[in-house]
Chains A and B, each alone.
Chain A
Amino acid sequence: MSLFKAREWWSHKCGTEEEFESSCLCVANIDLEADESGTCGAADAFGNLRIHSWRKYLSKGKEAILRSTSLKIITGSLSGVLRIHKPTANGYKVEDELLETNLGEPILQIVVGNFVQQNDRPALAVLFPRRLAVYTVNAVLAQSGNVSYLQLSMAHEHSLDRTAANMTHGAFGGATRFESIAVQSMDGQISFYENETLSFTRYLPNFLLPGPLAYDPVTDGIITCNSAFEVELFRYTVLAAASGEKSKAGATPAPPPPQITSGDSSISSENTVTSEKRVTADWSVTIGETVLDVQMAVKANVRGQVSSEIVVLGEHTLFILSTTGEVKAQRKLDFIPNCLHVYSKLPSGYAARQIRNQPAEHRHDQMFLVGTSTGSLMVYEGAKLRWGARWDYVPVSLGVGNFSSVNGLVASIDFEGNLSLTYMGTDPPLTNAGLMAEGKELNYEDMDEEHRMLLASIRDATGSTRKEPNERLNMRVQIPDRLDSAGTSSYYEPGDVSLRVVTAKLFVSYQGAGAGGSAEDVVISIQTPAPFSVDEPTVRISSVHGADGASTPVVVPIRIRCTDGRMVPTGSTVSVLASFRTKFNEPRTSKCYFHVPLCLSMQASDPSKDATYKLTVDTTRQELPSLASLFEDVLAFSQHGHELASHQSSAGALGLRYHNGMEVTILVSRNAGRLRLQANDFGSMWLVLEELRRRLTNYFLGVEGANSNPPFKMVYQEPLPLEDLYGLIDNHFYARKDSLTLEKTLEERAHQFRSIQKRLLVRFKDRNPSSLSHLDTLLEGSLNQIMGVSDELVAQQQKERYSAEALCHGVRLTLELIRLQFDLDDSAYELLASHITPNVSSFKTESYDDDGELVAKDGGGLFSSDIGWEEITDASVTNLLRTALSKNAGRDSSSIPQPLAPLADTAKLKKHINTVCDRLAKGVALSSSQTREDGA
């Protein structure tokens, strides 16, 4: 992290697809070109002035050297290309490149120093894996007197026995005139090359992998870092005096480790020469981490005394060691460093005077540049961070120099050869801070529009009413009032009730916004009340397309037949449910209802005079249509239909008969506008009454129109036949109880049977059989008992079923009568019917399948077997009384529903139904809108 960005002054991409390593960059006036001030210097960088050159140039004035403007940047790549650049002005020009030559071998390292004895001028040492070459560089001048290009000429070269790792240079042994080179091989041999000759080679002790190498002129020692994370100093004199052979049994009293053959040096001398003088380190300090680079910071005070410090760049820490091996300072790095460069701060003007006044130990005129792997450049003075600048790339090698009268430019090269000269600007880096739409014109109208839209959609989402989507599936049913002609026998024959078939047509059409929509995967399921059935209860249509105008609806025939002629219908409404997907894959449903035509369940018969049950219904009209015209469709499919019709017109009576022979007679009092229904069975009248109401309502709607005043109504004024209903309830209730008792008995018998079986089994398996002691008789007896109880149970269940049917009819009739008596509208009626439900049998929740296992039937296992219609109706009626029919307007919504418990008797239920009727009689309105929130 840094606040500032390094500003680029000059940059150039060296080669393509070339790689550069650390220590492949030098900054020096390699060809001794004279600059404006007439001085020439040889320095690989300012900080790394060798001690002799330091002494030499000190007299000339250090500032003059540092201001030398003729510095060149020398780079060498792993592809073996050596380049020399001389940046002259801001921005790269072709003329800046003075030399580019391919040396044919990878360049591991380049250093500049006085390596050639003959002429006292800087030379370039280039290290290849198997060769060390020293070149001098000469300028070829153009006519104008400027340097046009450089020439490389080899001074001397050495081929290396061992693969080289790196090198350092310096005036080893206190030489004053020229510098020597020390090359470290991959297997730890250091070879010293003095001028053109190899002076000696030494093996380093405890060696595993080559570490960075540096030469300290003050102590005349080679500093390196070994693989055990220790920084070591070897004095040159010690190295020179020691034995040259690899100390086999040397410093490591090692247990037999895996055989070492490091690198490719399998030719290490096997014939052990026991050396008296082993190479020993002057000191070693444990740094504790991998060392990336070691460099010397040499400084001299004004009196010419020279001191040096060792700068060690570890992976996580920057250490500064004294030449005696003490850690003088350390600084944890919060980044991963990449490269190090030591240079000396320019002491000029005021700063120089300040320095002179300070005690020596406080003077850090050596500065360290650290390049990080995050692309930053950190400038340290001692352990203090002085500056941080951001770079666009990750440098691998650094240098500092003055170029073209610009002081202190940092030369850097990255892995891929981007060579650049930068300076520390105070520009903040171009961060991604303003990454988004900075400076984009704000369009307030669009924003307003979007805001409005969002507000609207929030309103829609939070509002109480949800808008239905436009996409719908419209269903319409066309029911003929006649039986199909296919049902050939148009007259009643007891045997083949099922041949009476009505085919209704279901028209399915898609309606949606826009053209081309369609409903996919349409599944239409049809549910019919008990004795009726349809041939195909589920119809699948892959897709229904909608068109703009009149689309042709898909027609689905629904064939309804009566399957059980012995039953009075338990309902008359067929529900059709279609589920489908819209093109957005939203699942949706739509439904419609229609009534089963009466002719399917009844036909006309002679009216009967006597009947047990009689109901009288008043109407608001004096004149009623003739029954023959009302029930024309039924008469048409009845035996002697015409006779009956004519008879009816004279007597004003019509008999209707179910397939099971139950008869209902309708009597019409012409003048009083009164109707009478009579039948021998209480419940059987429900269908006729309902049908009558519907037909009369439709009739008067057709004759008088919708706005007739007063509207046509049927009114039932006699007391409600609740006692009859209660009788049915009791019947059903006790039938259920009996079934339960029988089931329990069956369970006990079965248990008994199993116990006997078990005992018998024990006896039979016994090795010493004892007598059966009549267990077999017992077994047989209990088997008989089981059979008996089972038969009883089957009979009882049949009874229960009948009673349930009867109850269903009774409830329907009662509901219809309540509707007529209290003039309930459709929604109120539905609400009431949902509480006092006529669906009696659907609460029979469990039954036994063939294996005797309990399986859940239509109730889905919601209720246990001792919960039936009575319990549920009681609970829902109680709820009805508490909510929709409660006396006080503020309803008690806090009542917690209690779990259903089996009723002991039906008295409470009867009382509650009575109360409902009383409340309705008192005029308490039943409205479904009130009950919506109650989730009735």
Chain B
Amino acid sequence: MVLVPDGLDKVWRAQRLLLRQRYDECIEICSALLDKNPYDQAVWYLKCRALTMKNYLDDTEIEDEGVAEVLLDDNAIAKLPRPGTSLARPLTGAKSGGASQGVRPVSSSGRPLTGFARPGTMTRPGTQSTDVRGAFAGNRPGTSRPVTGSDRFVRLGTASMLSEPGGPFIAVEKLDLRKYAARPALARVLCDYVIYHDHNPKKSLELCAIATQLAEYKDWWWKARLGKSYYQLGLLREAERQFQSALKNSDMVSVTLELCKCYVRLDQPNTCLDAYARAGTNHPDEPQLELGKARIHDAVNDMAQSVTCYKRVLSIDSSNVEAIACLGAHHFYTDQPEVALRFFRRLLQMGVSSTELWNNVGLSCFYASQYDMCLSCMEKALALANDENMADAWFNIGTIGIGIGDLGLAYQSLKIAVSIEAKHAESFNNLGVLELRKGNVDQARANFQTAASLVPHLFEPFFNGALLAFKLGDFQESFELCTKSLDAYEDHSDSHELLKQLKQHFSTC
């Protein structure tokens, strides 16, 4: 296609290309124009905007926390909060209204796995008594590297620097921000540029502060950006104040979402829910608010509430993938695989096609006794799989193998799972059980130990190890493992039973 068709104004063309998300072409035109006339503000505006949008990242979602954030987090209010009032201490057991841990696996923070993987669902958002080792180990599959720096921003920032030949477009450090702040149109794009392209919250903070002042503290947008800058700098209380102030000026959904993100980082789930609820009364048709609520309920392990929220999301936006996925997962783990299957099938019909989804469809089919379907679904899952999720798919095939009694298939699948991802603890655990059936006691023990050392929040390897040790007569080890199993899952009745037997044994001899 021609960059600028005959007879068209270049600026007009650049503006349209910008709206069409054809940023590179827009930048090309603008660069050419700026070469001729470097003081053309309109072109500067367009190029600035194009560069910003090219690197734009919707940051209303919860993001990964880097090592520094996890380790140097001092936002915790209470060291030992009551259950349900902190993300660090989710509700447990029967109060949650969800499936028990024995049925629904948990993430490393002791929360049931959600049906939808967002940044932050696998780790704990908010405060956590994490040790250095845990923080540095990282839990992204496929890499042992932790998330570094201040989230994704730093890395994306360096990438955007690299892509620009001839140095950065705007040398923010050299600008007289006061001068720009007085020109509303330029100031706003500059601010977005600094935040999204340069990832320099310090500078944007400066700009926002001046601009807010010039706007006589009446402009919600500048306050929201001020809050965003504070948030990115980790000054959560200041950010909260700015967002609240912005909301007073104008009730915007995006600001509410950012405020709630702030509360999540501050580990105040209940305040966060209040904020969502307040916004929800004004914006009853906004699914993001309900979704946020559902996520918080999810995070504090209040499954019943979260499911109602997800259902409400679906009544507003019937094609919300996250809600469908989470409801599907919920039904699956509450022993309604047929219902779960319908949810997952809906996702398939909507055009989602991923390993995880096929995997879930396969498993739902299996538990709904539709054996003819499940293996072909798993086949598709494998065909779509990459290194990160292939191990899970094989693990599930192993589970199906165990379920239908084809232990050979199960054994081989689990072996493959382990060969793909050497840190797949669940596979090690199941392999241990299979080895035990084969009579390879040493192998089984080694497998349980590996599994337990890889993922200490799973209770199964501990319990299996304890049981094996008990049968081998190693009561001391059995006792230790049993205690650890109960640490991971305090309501596990089999562990309690075993512990009782052990105690009886110890007291008699």
Contact = CB atoms under 8 A, between A and B. Distances in A.
B58 A264 contact: no
A17 B383 CA distance: 38
B82 interface: no
Contacts of A229: 188, 221
Contact of B7 (A19, A129, A432): A129
A227 interface: yes
A428 B349 contact: yes
Interface stretch (A380-388, A521-529, A839-847): A380-388
A373 B351 contact: no
Contacts of A336: 21
Nearest to B38: A258
A1 B288 contact: no
Contacts of B185: 206, 208-209, 226-228
Interface in B217-263: 219-221, 224, 250-254, 257
A286 B221 contact: yes
Interface stretch (B40-48, B70-78, B86-94): B40-48
Contact of A228 (B2, B20, B41, B188): B188
A163 B13 CA distance: 12
A106 B5 contact: yes
B332 to A, nearest CB: 19
Contact of A129 (B8, B58, B221): B8
Given A261-B39, A332-B254, A255 B7 contact: no
Contact of B348 (A253, A263, A315, A433): A433
Contacts of A258: 39, 41, 44
Given A252-B183, A290-B49, A431 B285 contact: no
Contacts of B318: 3, 385
A436 B379 CA distance: 9
Nearest to A338: B20
Interface in A703-722: none
A254 interface: yes
Contacts of B224: 288
A257 B214 CA distance: 16
B351 A431 contact: yes
Contact of A286 (B9, B19, B250): B250
A1 B349 contact: no
Given A327-B250, A330-B253, A436 B8 contact: no
A142 interface: no
Contacts of A332: 60, 253-254, 257, 286-288
Contact of B37 (A3, A21, A261, A338): A261
Given A209-B42, A263-B42, A383-B285, A186 B182 contact: no
Interface residues of B, number: 69
Contacts of B352: 1
Interface in B2-49: 2, 5-9, 11-12, 15-16, 18-21, 37, 39-42, 44-46, 49
Contacts of B317: 385
A264 B43 CA distance: 11
Interface string B134-165: 00000000000000000000000000000000
A275 interface: no
A208 B42 contact: yes
B240 to A, nearest CB: 19
B20 to A, nearest CB: 7
A257 B353 contact: no
A229 to B, nearest CB: 6
Nearest to B43: A262
Contact of A186 (B12, B53, B287): B12
Interface string A414-434: 010000000000001101110
Given A436-B383, A458-B412, A209 B45 contact: yes
A390 interface: yes
Pick the most buried of A228, A292, A390: most chain B CB atoms within 10 A of its CB. Answer: A228
A605 interface: no
A261 B286 contact: no
Nearest to A458: B412
A373 B12 contact: no
A129 B251 CA distance: 40
A2 B221 contact: no
A317 interface: yes
B283 to A, nearest CB: 7
Contacts of A581: none
A3 B184 contact: no
Contacts of A632: none
Main secondary structure of the interface of A (DSSP, over half): loop
A327 B255 CA distance: 14
A317 B41 CA distance: 26
A315 B21 CA distance: 10
Contacts, number: 172
B187 to A, nearest CB: 8
Contacts of A22: 16, 19
A329 B184 contact: no
B286 A228 contact: no
Contacts of B254: 288, 316-317, 332
B319 interface: yes
B80 interface: no
B446 interface: no
B496 interface: no
Given A3-B319, A209-B46, A432-B353, A292 B285 contact: no
A330 B286 contact: yes
A737 interface: no
B12 A228 contact: no
Nearest to B289: A332
A290 B188 CA distance: 11
A755 B40 CA distance: 80
B178 to A, nearest CB: 8
B27 to A, nearest CB: 16
B16 A228 contact: no
Contact of A257 (B2, B46, B179, B220): B179
Interface in A59-112: 78-80, 105-106, 108
A777 to B, nearest CB: 64
Nearest to A18: B5
A227 B45 contact: yes
Contacts of B250: 286, 327
B11 A257 contact: no
Contacts of A771: none
Nearest to A455: B408
Contacts of A382: 285
Interface string A377-411: 00000111100101000001000000000000000
Given A78-B5, A106-B6, A382-B285, A327 B221 contact: no
B439 to A, nearest CB: 15
B346 interface: yes
A259 interface: yes
A262 B12 CA distance: 11
Interface string B194-232: 000000000000000000000000011100100000000
A254 B380 contact: no
Given A209-B45, A252-B183, A332-B286, A21 B188 contact: no
A267 interface: no
A288 B485 CA distance: 52
Interface string B374-413: 0000011001000000000000000000000000100010
B172 interface: no
A331 B291 CA distance: 13
A435 interface: yes
A206 B186 CA distance: 11
The 6 lowest CB-CB distance pairs between A and B, nearest first, are A227-B185, A228-B184, A383-B285, A262-B42, A258-B39, A228-B185
Given A210-B15, A255-B179, 6 more contacts: A208-B45, A290-B19, A290-B49, A317-B254, A334-B288, A383-B283
Interface of A: 1-3, 17, 19, 21-22, 78-80, 105-106, 108, 128-129, 163, 165, 186, 206, 208-210, 226-230, 252-255, 257-264, 286, 288, 290, 292, 315-317, 327, 329-332, 334, 336, 338, 373, 382-385, 388, 390, 396, 415, 428-429, 431-433, 435-436, 455, 458
